[in-house]
Amino acid sequence: MNLSTPYYLIDETKLLKNLKKIKYVSRNSGAKSVLALKCFSTWSVFPLMKQYMDGTTSSSLYEARLGHEKFGKEVHAYCVGFSKEDIKEVKKYADKIIFNSISQLKMFYKGLKNIKIGLRINPKISYSHFDLADPARKYSRLGVVDKKSILKILPLISGLMFHFNCENDDFKNFSKNLDYLGRNYGDLLKKLEWISLGGGLYFTKEGYPLDKFCKKLKEFSEKFQIQIYLEPGETAITRSAELVTSIVDIVHNEIDIAIVDASTEAHMLDLLIYRTPAKMEASVSGKYKYMIAGRSCLAGDIFGTYNFKNKLKIGSIVKISDAAGYSMVKKNWFNGLQMPSIVVKKLDGSTKIVRQFEYKDYINSLS
């Protein structure tokens, strides 16, 4: 198949490796896993993912509806701030609605019969490499801090959500923090049905002690007689996709700069937001050094600087790794640049173009 760059390539075989680990955790710990759509919502691969996961969790009305219509199974609906219109719609799709504040809970709970209601808690602990993504940062608006106020509304809810991790691959840290939750909120948990530990737990990473993780989760669940939910996002799709680009020009300004037919701001926005280089399988000891840059007009549209074994030329393919999580959901039409197609490499090895974007898509995104 002749594919025109740029395109996102999702490899189902690589995706399956993560999904099998998620299923292993569910089977051996009793914890359920719901896909965090804020990280990844490319529904063309949902038929594979839903075989290994228990549902989806959302951060908005549209994500909740997408989870209901395209994934099925359980639908958890959370939002930092629901409107009245949101609630009228979201209750059509959600099995659980999780509120960010007690004021929102009190405003809407009466109209939510036959729906499990939860509340997000800010335990004032967290694991994050970035202040921007730290849910327990100073003045955080994410979750309820005051435990006394939670006690007063306890009869209105069936569960609590603690989303306090970001790319946490440290099992000892997780274990310590789970013990903290047990000590500080155990009296509440014993009266409830479920607890969500949120996302940001990187338990599909190579070498992560999965059996210890399962044991810890199971012990916690049995101690408090409560159903645990995990919300894998990046964890579910890590290393399963890449952004495939072509070099359209090479310029020199003290260093060789290869310009590709994609953009950080338009196609991998998190690289700019967190100021991190793109992941690329280039040789550290390679002889030829190039800065890989995007073709938008933004001066800082840079993927990173890498060493290559061979000289690059116009038309050379450059593959940028880990391009699924928080990339495909954030792609945009900055500079009117061509949107990357979405391509899936199936388990049987066949390749399928599931979406191509055209000028009409650009026009229809505006008014």
User: Cα–Cα distance between 358 and 339 in angstroms, integer?
Assistant: 8
Look at residue 271 in the predicted model and tell me its pLDDT: 96
Q: Residue 177 phi/psi, 5° resolution?
A: -70, -35
CB 111 within 8 A of CB 87: yes
Residue at token pair 């729906």: 115
How many CA atoms lie within 13 Å of 134's alpha carbon, on the beta-carbon side?
13
User: Cα–Cα distance between 290 and 307 in angstroms, integer?
Assistant: 6
How many CA atoms lie within 13 Å of 72's alpha carbon, on the beta-carbon side?
7
Residue 49 CB contacts under 8 Å (≥ 6 apart), including other chains? 15, 19, 35, 71, 236
User: Cα–Cα distance between 222 and 245 in angstroms, integer?
Assistant: 49
Pairing of strands 341-345, 74-79: unpaired
Look at residue 284 in the predicted model and tell me its pLDDT: 75
- Is this prediction's pTM over 0.85? yes
Look at residue 282 in the predicted model and tell me its pLDDT: 72
Cβ-in-10-Å burial (0-12, 13-18, 19+) of 285 comes to exposed
pLDDT mean values, one per 10 residues, the chain (367 residues): 92 98 98 98 98 98 98 98 98 98 97 95 94 93 96 97 95 97 97 97 97 98 98 97 98 98 98 95 84 98 96 96 96 97 98 97 95
Look at residue 74 in the predicted model and tell me its pLDDT: 98
- Characterize 206-224 residue by residue with b for buried, 16 or more Cβ atoms within 10 angstroms of its Cβ, and e for exposed: eebebeebbebbeebbeeb
Q: Residue 16 phi/psi, 5° resolution?
A: -60, -35
Question: Which of helix, strand or coil describes residue 93?
Answer: coil
Q: Which two tokens stand for residue 174?
A: 């997780």
Going along the chain from its start, the domains and CATH numbers come out as 12-237 (3.20.20.10), 241-323+331-364 (2.40.37.10)
